[in-house]
Amino acid sequence: MMSSMRLRIAARAALALTLAVVLSACDNNGGAGTTNSGASAGAASALSGVTGTDITGTGFGKNVKLLDHNGKQINLLDAYRGKVLVVFFGFTQCPDVCPTTMAELAQVKEKLEPQARDLVQVVMISVDPQRDTPQVLKQYVAAFDPSFMGLTGSDDQIAKAASSFKAYYKKVDSGKSYTMEHSSGLYVIDTKGESRLLFKPNTPPEDIAADLQKLL
């Protein structure tokens, strides 16, 4: 039985990884990609009847330490335990993919049952810590929903966070400045800190909301 359980977990991780490879990374020209999976056994049961990809058991987000937009150092899973956490990697100077995604996430919260809205926390982890200070992030995410949280940190902290989620990002020179390429999937972690779902870009907000309700 234990062997069968491990095989099921490995299969789900492989499925999520396959999805990550197939979808391309987003860039400032409006492309949209997503990421993937890791591989660690989780105790939570697999999900059924969901739109998102089931990534139960992948262990994303563990031991991630970042700075929130209020200047507080946090451990990601500890800080939001008890809530369903929706994680997005982006940056404030992204011209299209990031603001579109954040606006869609604001719609997701509106589509949740009223009593569920306070139990869902959206966070955007910046892949551009040089320009995205806590103050910049706070102003940016609040423009979409006052409950949204922006997270940043040192280059090393951002690299570790991206690695934990198997998320892609890359600095790209653009004239006298630079832009950032990055994956644009949405990762969902349940109230107990377990990875549960991965949404590809452009998933309808009503479908995301319906899946989140299943975790509450």
Determine the pLDDT at residue 168. 95
Give CATH superfamily name and number for 2-214.
Answer: Glutaredoxin (3.40.30.10)
Task: Label residue 115 by pLDDT band (50, 70, 90).
Answer: very high
Structural contact between residues 202 and 99, judged by C-beta atoms closer than 8 angstroms: no
Tokens of 195: 């990875």
Amino acid at 133: T
Cα 169 to its chain centre, rounded Å, is 13
> What is the rounded average pLDDT for all residues in the chain?
85
Phi, psi of 137 (to 5 degrees): -65, -40
Structural contact between residues 193 and 199, judged by C-beta atoms closer than 8 angstroms: no
List beta partners, residue 212: none
Task: Label residue 114 by pLDDT band (50, 70, 90).
Answer: very high
Q: CA 169, CA 162: separation in Å to the nearest integer?
A: 8
| pLDDT > 70? residue 58 | yes
Tokens of 32: 């949209």
CA-nearest of 199, 184, 196 to 59 is 196
Structural contact between residues 152 and 158, judged by C-beta atoms closer than 8 angstroms: yes
Mean pLDDT of 171-191: 94
Determine the pLDDT at residue 43. 59
Q: What would the pLDDT profile of 161-171 be if each residue is shown by its tens digit?
A: 999 999 999 99
Cα 157 to its chain centre, rounded Å, is 16
Higher pLDDT: 7 or 45? It is 45
Determine the pLDDT at residue 78. 96
Determine the pLDDT at residue 103. 97
Strands 149-152 and 186-189 turn out to be unpaired
Q: What would the pLDDT profile of 120-147 be if each residue is shown by its tens digit?
A: 999 999 999 999 999 999 999 999 999 9
Q: What would the pLDDT profile of 82-99 be if each residue is shown by its tens digit?
A: 999 999 999 999 999 999
Task: Label residue 69 by pLDDT band (50, 70, 90).
Answer: very high
Q: So where are the chain's domains?
A: 2-214
